[in-house]
Amino acid sequence: MALPSKSTRRTIKALAGAALLTVSLAACGLDVNTGLPYTIKPGSIKAIPSVQGLKVTVGSKDFTENIILGYMAEMALSAAGADVVDLTDIKGSNSSRQALINAQTDVTWEYTGTGWINYQGNELPVPGGEQAQYDATAKADKEKNGITWLQYSPLNDQYAFAVTEEYAAKNNLKTVSDLTAFLKQKPDQSVFCLETEFTSRQDGFPAANKAYGYPVGTVKNFGIGTIYSAISQGTCQIGEVFTTDGRISGLKLKVLEDDKKAFPQYNAAVTMRTEFLDQHPDLRGPLETVTKAITNEQMVELCKQVDVDGRDAGAVARDWMVSKGFITTE
């Protein structure tokens, strides 16, 4: 996704000794941001005595939605009284995951499908819907890796294939099964624009191809931020998208229904090292307050504000948190 540069984003609080922290994290290939130009104060998320002054490092992956979620977590924890270190925009899922496991971060938003397929090494999603996928993922991760998944969110950001609305209408494409039948008749139209990671990850392109058997012609690898415009401009007929991305509506794209359920459920949830959470159990409340409130429809709009309208991700997260009454600002 097209993201604002690292230098344009800010952390929640500047910390004493931040320079030393930056050096140690930079040695691991991670960068700490600087301080926000506004102050976060409690709203419905109240100050918690046991959290006052507690240093909590929040990480995120490098796409708009996850960065917005990271900022929301930072603001919730700041309202509760924590000293928050911003480590959003870590490049790649595996790097973000390792930062959590290695205690470089303490809080990271994850997705149940990613946890089950990529981190646990399973090839197929768990049947039975969102709760079943969450339960299986959370149980396995806690037992094997000492990672606790907080309650999952209604936000379910699944992978999908998209084409332009015009292309879908012209070729009567509503589902991925429709697309498969169409490509078997016209294999010259099998041009996919995909992110490099999606091309190889087990819950991505291989999972869909295994379920549907569509012919794979040309695969063009792009950064996720440019795939949406590549579809819109006709660089490729089909592209990988996230179902909550605001550019889907902004660029008039048609998301094809995953009618064979090839892609797992991807409900968002905060993940933390079990040991850290056990030491600071009062962190759960502020984080799950945000978790319960965010939905796909709201996230589509928030991502649109960043990726289409060009707003800063931190400001978008702040305005949403204020609109919910979770925080106040000066």
Render pLDDT for 170-222 as a digit per residue (tens, 0 to 9).
999 999 999 999 999 999 999 999 998 899 877 789 989 999 999 999 999 99
Question: What is the distance between the alpha carbons of residues 179 and 176, in angstroms, rounded to a whole number?
Answer: 5
Q: Is the dihedral of CA 135, 137, 155, 329 positive or negative?
A: positive
In this structure, the strands spanning 147-149 and 268-273 are: antiparallel
Q: What is the pLDDT of residue 245?
A: 87
Q: What is the pLDDT of residue 109?
A: 98
Confidence band, pLDDT 50/70/90 cuts, at residue 17: very low
* CATH of region 6-156+266-329: 3.40.190.10
Confidence band, pLDDT 50/70/90 cuts, at residue 70: very high
Mean pLDDT lowest among 9-13, 74-78, 234-238: 9-13
Is it true that domain 159-256 has CATH number 3.40.190.120?
yes
Question: What is the distance between the alpha carbons of residues 63 and 67, in angstroms, rounded to a whole number?
Answer: 6
Predicted TM-score of the model (pTM): 0.76
Tens of pLDDT, residue by residue over 110-127, are 999 999 988 999 888 888
Both tokens assigned to 186: 């016209």
Residues 6 or more apart in contact with residue 29 via CB below 8 angstroms: 95
Tens of pLDDT, residue by residue over 121-158, are 988 888 888 999 999 999 999 999 999 999 999 999 89
Q: Is the per-residue pLDDT at 16 higher than 90?
A: no
List where CATH 3.40.190.120 sits in the chain: 159-256
On average, the pLDDT of the chain sits at: 87
List where CATH 3.40.190.10 sits in the chain: 6-156+266-329
Residues 6 or more apart in contact with residue 218 via CB below 8 angstroms: 190, 191, 192, 236
Q: Is the per-residue pLDDT at 32 higher than 60?
A: no
Question: Which has the higher per-residue pLDDT, 237 or 92?
Answer: 237
Mean pLDDT of 304-310: 90
Confidence band, pLDDT 50/70/90 cuts, at residue 38: low
Q: Taking Cα atoms as reference points, which of 319, 324, 308 lies closest to residue 64?
A: 308
Q: What is the pLDDT of residue 82?
A: 95
DSSP 279: H
